[in-house]
Structure 1
Amino acid sequence: MCGIAGIFHYETVKPVVPKRVERMTEAIAHRGPDGSGVWTAPGIGLGHRRLSIIDLAGSPQPMHSADERAVIVFNGEIYNYRELRRELEQGGAVFRTDGDTEVILAAWQKWGPDCLRRFDGMFAFALYDCTARRLFLARDRFGVKPLYLARIEGGALAFASELKGLLANPLLRRTIDPLAIEDYMTWGYVPDHRSILQGVEKLPAGHFMLLEHGREPGPPQQWWDISFERREKGSTQDLSAQLLHLMREGVTSRMVADVPLGAFLSGGVDSSSVVALMSEASTVPVTSCSIGFDVASVDETQYARQVAGLFDTDHHERIVSADQFGEIDRIAAIFDEPFADASALPTLRVCELAREHVTVALSGDGADEAFAGYRRQLFHAREEQARSVLPAALRQPVFGALGRIWPKADWAPRPLRAKSTFLSLAENGEAGYARALSILSPEQRQRLYGATLLRERGDYRAEQPFEKLMREAPARSGLDRAQYADLKFWLPGDILTKTDRTSMAVGLEAREPLLDHRLVEFGARLSHGQRLRGTTGKWLVKHTMQRYLPDDILYRSKQGFVTPVSQWLRGPLASEARAVAASEVLVGSGWFARKALARLADDHISGRSDHGRVLWQLLILDRSLRQLKPSA
C-alpha cells in the first residue's frame, strides 16, 4: 500500500521540477513510510511513497518496465498477479522483480487499457508510456484506492492519492465549493463526483483517463460497472455452495503478504465471516482486533470476544471514550475534506491497535451493499411494494400531508417514528431512498443555511445526482437500484474513504475480501428472496455461514459500528455542541444561520430532540474548513 503523486503537462511540454513532486509525496508520507522516489522527464513527473507488503526489497517505485518504455507509480494490490505473470511470461515478457507492480507494466504493454479488466485487486496508478508519450490514470472497480486530480496553471494536471498531496502544490487555489457543502450537509461526506475545493476532482471508481501532450484532457472513461439485470438460477444448496466458494476465494487471495496479517473483528456477521474463513485457511491463529465503547448500549466487544474464542484467535481490544474528542482535529487532518461518519474515530483506533501487531488487516466492508444487509434497503423494498399498489396521485397528497404533520419523535420506539416513512412514500422511489440515506432532508438544510449559501447553492440539490444514478441503474427493481446506488455512491464516498484514510494514517494496509468483484457480481444476480427474506437481510450469506457461526452472531439485530456521539454531546461535550453557533467559519461566512445552530444545540442538550449526528457534522466541517484555510 502506498501513496502516489505527479504532474503532467498536457498543453505544452515543460520541465517538471522534481522538488515540487517530492513535496507532494512528502505530504502523503504516512501512506508509505518504507521508501520514496521521484522520476521526471519532459512534461511528466511521478512520485511515490511505499509501504512494503510484497517483494519487500525488490519493487521500488517509480518503476520502469524491463524495456524502459514505461514508468509507473502504483497504490494498491493486484491479488492475481502471479497468474497474470505466468500468462505474460508465456507471451515473452521478462520480469526482474517478484511483485505485482511490474506485472501492471507488462500487462499495459500487452493489452493497453484492457489490462484493467484482468486485474483482481484494489488500485490507483499512474503509468507513463514513454514511447507513445501518454499518461494512463486508473482506479479500481469499487474505489477502494483514491485518486484526486486538479488542473493547475500552465496547462498541467496534478494528481495525488489524497487531497493534501495536491495542497502541497503552490499553484493549487483553495477556494471552497459551496455545492460541496450542500453535498456534505446531506450525506455527511463529499461524494466522489465533487471535492470540497473548486477545480479539484476525483477519478471515479471503475474509470480511467488517457492523457496526451498537446491535447486537452477528455472526461474519464468507465471500464467497469455492476449490473443487476440478470438473475442467477439454481437451488439454495447450489447457490450457497457457489457463494461459499467465492467468499473463500476472496479471503484467501487477500491473505497473500510478506508481512504480518490480521483482521478487524466487530462481532458482526461480515467481519466474523472473514475471521472464520481466515482461520479455516490459516495454519496459525489469526490476529484479530476489536474496538469497544464506554457506552454499554453501543458496545459490541462481547460478541467479538465470542467469535475470537470460537476460532481461538490472537485477540486484542481497546475502548474508545469521550475523552478522546481531542482527536477531532486529527480526524479533520486525516480526511482533508469534511467527513462526518462518526465511526471514523473508532476505525482509526482499531487501525492503530492492528498496526501494533500486523501490517495488513482484512475487513468485512462491502457485504451490506452487495447482499442487501442495510435496514434502509429492507424498508425501501417494502415502500416500493406500496408504491406499486398505490398510485402517485393518491400517495403524494395523503402521505405528504401525514409526513408534514407527524412529529419527529426521536425519543419514540422505532415503529412510531413514521415521519420519514410518510415523506418517503409521498415521493418516487429514487427520492424516497435518497431521503432514507441522507442525514438532513432538504427542508432541514433550508432551515440551517444562511443567506450566502442559499444564494450560492441556487437550484442545485445534493439528491439530484444520486437520484439520477438510481434512475439510470442497470437494474430490474427498486431494491436493485438501491443497492446499485449504495455500491456506486455510498461505498466509495463513505465506507471505503473511511477505511483507506484511517488505515493509511497509521501505515496499515486494509483489504476488503467481501468486495472481490466476482463475489459482488454474484450477489447482484441473486433473487430478492436470496438477499432479503422476511426481515432478514443478507439471507443467503447468513444461511451459508451457519456452518461456521452461531445464530446469536448471525441473526441478532444489526448494530453497525456506532459511536455514541449523541450521548457525548449531551454530557462531557455539551460545550462543544454550543460552540457550533459561535463558529466564525460557519456563521461568519454567511453559510449558516446563527440562531438556527444555537437552537439545534439547545434542543439536543435538553433532550427535546436528537441532533447528535448533525452537531458532529457541523463540528467536523468547522475543523476541516479551518485547516484548509481558503485562499482569497
Structure 2
Amino acid sequence: MCGLAGIVLGHQGHPDEQTLLAMRDVQRHRGPDEAGIYLAEGVGLAHRRLSIIDLTHGQQPMVDEQAGLALIYNGELYNFVSLRAELEALGIVFASHGDTEVVLRAWQQWGEACLSRFVGMFAFAIWNMRTQRVLLARDQIGIKPLHYGFTQAGDLVFASELKGLLAHPELERKLDPQALEDYLAFGYVPDPKCIYQGIFKLPPGHWLSWHAGEPVPLTHQYWDVPFNTDPRMGEAEASAKLRALLDDAVSSQMVADVPLGAFLSGGVDSSAVVASMTRIAAEPVNTCSIGFDHAGFDETAYARQVAKHLNTRHFEERVSSEDYDFLDMLAGMYDEPFADSSALPTWRVCQLARKHVTVALSGDGGDENFAGYRRYRLHAWESALRARLPLAVRKPLFGLLGKIYPKADWAPRPLRAKTTFQALACDDVEAYFRSVSITSTAMRQQLYSDSFKSELQGYNALSVFRGHAQHAPTQHPLSLAQYLDLKTWLPGDILTKVDRASMANSLEVRVPLLDHRMVEWASSLPPALKLKGGIGKYIFKKALEADLPHDVLYRTKMGFSVPLAAWLRGPLAKRVRDALLDGAVARSGYFDPNMLGKLVREHTEGRRDHSATLWSLLMLDAFLRRMQEPAVATPAQPPSKVSPAGSLA
C-alpha cells in the first residue's frame, strides 16, 4: 500500500516543494519503504511506497514524458497480469513487472473506461501533461481512500488521508455543521462529506477530472451495486458458484512478494477466507487473532478451533479490557471524529499481524453481502408488519404508542416495544436509519444548543439515506438495507477503520469478500437465500459446511467490540466527565450543557446505557482538541529529486 499527495495549481507556476513534501511525509506510515516526487508547471505529485509486488521496480510517481503522463497510485490490481497481456497484444511495451505501469498504460489506452476493467482496490491520480488535466479515481467499493479540496488560492489538493491535506497551510479548517450531525447519527462522517467544509472524500466507484480555471469538479460514477436479482437461482447452484467466486478472489489476492497471512476472529467470514486460503496454499497459512480478558467479548477459543481445524500457523495475543489508553492516538489516526470502538482491537490485531506478515487477508464484507447483521432480521420482520398497514394509519397509531410507551434500554431488543412502535410508524428507509443510528434523532435534538440548531437549518442525517435510497436499484426491504450499508456503513466505517489501523502499522489488508464481482453476484441472490428461517448469511454458511465446524458456522454472532458500557462507568468515567462537562466538547458551543450533564449522570449511575453516545462525544472531544494542531511531518530524508526513480522516459 501507499500514500498519495498532490497539488494542481489554479494559476501559473510550480507548487511549493516543501509543502508537497510535508503533505507526503505526514503519511509516511502508509509507505515507509520509498518516497518520490514529481514537480512541473502547474502540478506536484508525491508518493510514499510500501513495497508488495515487484520490489525492485514500480517506483512512483511513474512518469512517461513521451506519453505525457504521470501517475501516483495506491492499491493492488488483482487482474493486472491478464490486463497486461491484453495491452501487450495491442502493441504496448512494458518497462516494469508490477501493476503500477498496468494502471498507467490502461488509462493511456482506454481513458476512464479502464476503470470498469480493474479488479482490485485502488485510488490514483493521473496528470496529463498535454491537456494540463488531472484525473482522480477510487475503486468500486471504496477500499482505498482519497480526499480532495481547494485552497484559498484556488489550488486543488488531494491525498490518501485527510492529514495529508491538512499539512497544506492554505487549506481552511472550518467544521461542517451537517457533517457533525451525520457523525452524531452514524458514528462516522459518510462520503462524500468530510468533517471540514470544502474538503471531500471521492465516493467509491467514482472519478473526477479538473483543469485550472474550471469550477469545482463534478464527480462521475462508473460502478454501482446492481441488485439485479436472479429468481431462478437455487441453493445448490448458489453454493457452488459462491465457493468458486470465493476461491478465485482469494487466490488472486494471495499474490505478493512479501510474507502473507490472514486475520482470524473465529467468526464465519474470516474463517471462510482462511479455509479458502488453506485449499490454495502449499504451506500452512499464517493467522492472527486478538483476545480479550473479558469473557463476553473474547472469541479466541473459536479462532483456535478454526486454526487447529485448518492447520494454520496461528498467532494470538490478549488485550486487557482496560486497554483504553489510546484514545488520542485513535483521534490522530482517523483525522476526523470516528466512534467505532472496535477501532482499538482492529489496531491491535494489525499491530500483531505486522510482526509476522506484510499482507493480511480479512473477512470484511460478508455481513453486507449476505445479510449477516442481526439488524437485517429485525428490519425484515418490521417491514413485513409495515406492509400490512398503510403509512397514513401506521404513523399516527404507532407514533402515539411510541411516545407513551416507557423506554426500556435494559430489555432484549424484541421486548423494547417503544423502539418497535417508533419503527412501525416510519417508512422502511427512516426505520432502517433509526436502527443504525448510534444517537437517536430525538436525543440529538435535545443535545444540540440553540445556536447549533440554527447552523443546521433543519438538516437531518436521515437525508443521507434518503439520497441513496432515491437512486437505489432495488426496493426490496432487505436488499435496500444492504444497499444503504454498502453505500455508507461499509466505506465510511468498516473500510475506513481497517485502512487507517492497518496503514498505521504499515500493513496491507486485502478483502476478498469485497472483490466487486463477488459483490455484484451476491446482490443478484434472492433475498430468501441470504436470510432464511431467521438465519442470516444462510447460503454463505451452507456453502461452507464442508470446510468449517458446525458450531463455528451457526453460533451466535459476537462482533469485534470492547466492553464500552463498563469502561464508561468505571475507568473512563472521569475522562467522560472532564470532556463533557469541562472539556473541548463542553466549550464547543455545539451542545446544551444541561443535557451533557444528564447523559453522564444517567450512565454512570446505571440508570441508562448511553455508552454509544458518550463514546462518540469522547472521540469528538479528542478530535476537537487536535483540530487546531498543525499536521506537520519532518521529511524522513533530504528533499527528493524532481526527476523520480519511477520515470519511464
**Residues 83-134 of structure 1, C-alpha deviation per residue, up to 9 Å, x if partnerless?**
1001101111111111100000100111000000110010000011222322
DSSP-derived class of the 1:150 partner: strand
State the match for 2:500 in structure 1: 501
State the match for 1:256 in structure 2: 255
Matches within 5 A, 1:5-44: 5-9=5-9, 11-44=10-43
Q: Distance in 2 between matches of 1:110 and 1:443?
A: 53
DSSP-derived class of the 1:149 partner: strand
Aligned-residue offset at 1:405: 2.2
State the match for 1:64 in structure 2: 63
DSSP-derived class of the 2:324 partner: helix
State the match for 1:246 in structure 2: 245
Aligned-residue offset at 1:500: 0.3
What TM-score results when the alignment is normalised by the length of structure 2?
A: 0.95
Aligned-residue offset at 1:232: 5.2
Aligned-residue offset at 1:484: 0.6
Matches within 5 A, 1:332-481: 332-481=331-480
State the match for 2:102 in structure 1: 103
State the match for 2:3 in structure 1: 3
State the match for 1:626 in structure 2: 625
Matches within 5 A, 1:484-499: 484-499=483-498
Give the partner amino acid of 1:535.
G
Q: Distance in 1 between matches of 2:36 and 2:530?
A: 47
State the match for 1:225 in structure 2: 224
Aligned-residue offset at 1:630: 7.8
Q: Distance in 2 between matches of 1:611 and 1:105?
A: 50
Matches within 5 A, 1:45-194: 45-65=44-64, 67-194=66-193
Give the partner amino acid of 1:403.
G
Matches within 5 A, 1:469-618: 469-618=468-617
Give the partner amino acid of 1:171.
E
Aligned-residue offset at 1:204: 0.8
Residues 18 and 39, structure 1, Cα contact 8 Å, conserved in 2: no
Residues 149 and 158, structure 2, Cα contact 8 Å, conserved in 1: yes
DSSP-derived class of the 2:482 partner: helix
DSSP-derived class of the 1:40 partner: strand
Q: Distance in 2 between matches of 1:299 and 1:583?
A: 35
Distance 1:630 1:398, change over 3 A: farther
Q: Distance in 1 between matches of 2:12 and 2:276?
A: 52
Gaps of 5+ in 1: none
Q: Distance in 1 between matches of 2:27 and 2:424?
A: 46
Aligned-residue offset at 1:553: 0.8
Residues 447 and 596, structure 1, Cα contact 8 Å, conserved in 2: yes
Q: Distance in 2 between matches of 1:16 and 1:581?
A: 42
State the match for 1:269 in structure 2: 268
Give the partner amino acid of 1:540.
I
Q: Distance in 1 between matches of 2:501 and 2:603?
A: 29
Aligned-residue offset at 1:68: 4.6
Residues 233 and 525, structure 2, Cα contact 8 Å, conserved in 1: no
Q: Distance in 2 between matches of 1:280 and 1:298?
A: 30
Q: Distance in 2 between matches of 1:583 and 1:178?
A: 21
Give the partner amino acid of 1:488.
K
Give the partner amino acid of 1:106.
R
**Residues 228-247 of structure 1, C-alpha deviation per residue, up to 9 Å, x if partnerless?**
13325233111111111001
DSSP-derived class of the 1:324 partner: coil
Give the partner amino acid of 2:100.
T
Q: Distance in 2 between matches of 1:217 and 1:415?
A: 48
Aligned-residue offset at 1:398: 1.9
Moved more, 111-120 or 145-154: 145-154
Give the partner amino acid of 1:460.
Y
Moved more, 573-582 or 55-64: 573-582
Distance 1:164 1:136, change over 3 A: same
Q: Distance in 2 between matches of 1:176 and 1:348?
A: 27
Q: Distance in 2 between matches of 1:320 and 1:599?
A: 32
Q: Distance in 1 between matches of 2:268 and 2:412?
A: 25
Q: Distance in 1 between matches of 2:215 and 2:580?
A: 45
Aligned-residue offset at 1:320: 2.2
Bigger relative contact order, structure 1 or 2, given CA contacts below 8 A and separation 6+? 2
Gaps of 5+ in 2: 631-649
DSSP-derived class of the 1:358 partner: coil
Q: Distance in 2 between matches of 1:269 and 1:409?
A: 31
Residues 452 and 589, structure 1, Cα contact 8 Å, conserved in 2: no
Residues 578 and 602, structure 1, Cα contact 8 Å, conserved in 2: no
**Residues 149-176 of structure 1, C-alpha deviation per residue, up to 9 Å, x if partnerless?**
1111332100000110011100011111
DSSP-derived class of the 2:558 partner: coil
Aligned residues: 630
Aligned-residue offset at 1:347: 0.1
Residues 530 and 539, structure 2, Cα contact 8 Å, conserved in 1: yes
**Residues 49-85 of structure 1, C-alpha deviation per residue, up to 9 Å, x if partnerless?**
0000000111110012384521100011001001100
Residues 451 and 590, structure 1, Cα contact 8 Å, conserved in 2: no
Q: Distance in 1 between matches of 2:65 and 2:18?
A: 26
Q: What is the CA RMSD across the aligned residues, in angstroms?
A: 1.4
Q: Distance in 2 between matches of 1:178 and 1:482?
A: 26
Q: Distance in 1 between matches of 2:629 and 2:465?
A: 28
Distance 1:491 1:95, change over 3 A: same
**Residues 436-477 of structure 1, C-alpha deviation per residue, up to 9 Å, x if partnerless?**
111111101011112221121121001112122123301141
